[in-house]
Each structure stands twice: as structure tokens, then as C-alpha cells.
Copies of this chain bind each other. A is one copy, B any other.
């Protein structure tokens, strides 16, 4: 539902894209609460009745909006070695989190799944999928000895993701590869010298 096929009536395609773009803009600016069907209609120029022709109700529209705000992080290339793979994933994550629309939407992305009303049509693990490649990289780094083999992958994930998200929330922070590499280095160094 979040991906519109190419070979459809161009009118449908236009409407869907306009609606989703407006919806994302509203979500970024004011969170789930700002994504009202009336506001989306006005912002997009698409009639409210048309919106309801494409989405069953507001909850389904919000679910698609939420997904559209999450960055896509590719699964790390296995060929480059575990340390480089981890570095790459962190770079992708930092860049993704630093970009529009993710960055300004971040606080809302964190809070929405917990809202008992807004999370109705939202799969419980949408957010987790974004960090799946990172967890994979952490596990590979552990099993290959870059970090201790007994590393708690969830704890390590909290450590890295927390650092990245807090940086992205701070508007003064540059979300570039320099930061990404610093995060990776501080992470690995802290784990390496570990006297179990």
C-alpha cells in the first residue's frame, strides 16, 4: 500500500503521491495529530472524498505516512569485512536520520507507536526493521572478534542507536560521515579494551 505501482492510471498515481507528500509534511511539522484528513486534503489539493477512495480511513493513511518517514538502510555487504560493514551501516543510518523527512520527524516516529490511538493500524515492529541491518552488523562484528564475542547485541544496538538519534534530534549536530565514523570508533574502542 505504501508503494504505488507504475502502471496505473496517472490520475491515481498523481493523487496518491500528492496526498502522501502532504501527509508527510504535516507529520513532520506537527506529529500524528497534525495529520488530519481535512488538513491533508487542503495541503495536497486533493479532495477529501478522493483520499477516502484510496485509504480506508485516517489510520491507514497515517501508517503509510509513518513508513514514508523512515529511512531505508541496506543490508551490509558481507565481502568487506565485519568492521567496514559496521562502519557502512552506521554511516547509512546517520545519513538517513539526518535527512528530510526523517530528522524532523524523529521524535514523532519514536512516540507514535506508543500512542494507543495512533498506533492502531501500525505494525508493532515497523521501527525495528530500520535497525535490523545494524543488529546484523553488530552480530557479525561480535562473532568475528572485532568486539567481544559475548557482546549483548541489544545493548550494543541501544548504545549506537541512542547516540545516533540524540545527535539527530539536536539541530546543531551535523549528520555526516565524520560523525558516523566517530560513533563507530568510540563504540568499538569502548568494547575492545573491555576487561570482561
Contacts and interface: CB of A to CB of B under 8 A. Distances in A.
A187 B163 CA distance: 11
Interface string A92-135: 00000000000010011011111111000000000000000000
Contacts of A183: 159
B114 A108 contact: yes
A1 interface: no
Contacts of A194: 186, 189
B161 A30 contact: no
A159 B172 contact: no
Copies, count: 2
A12 interface: no
B166 A162 contact: yes
A154 interface: yes
10 contacts: A108-B115, A110-B169, A154-B173, A155-B182, A159-B186, A161-B162, A162-B164, A162-B167, A189-B190, A193-B193
Interface residues of A, number: 43
A142 interface: no
A158 interface: yes
A29 B31 CA distance: 17
A170 interface: yes
Contacts of A189: 189-190, 193-194
Most buried by B among A34, A115, A116, A158: A158
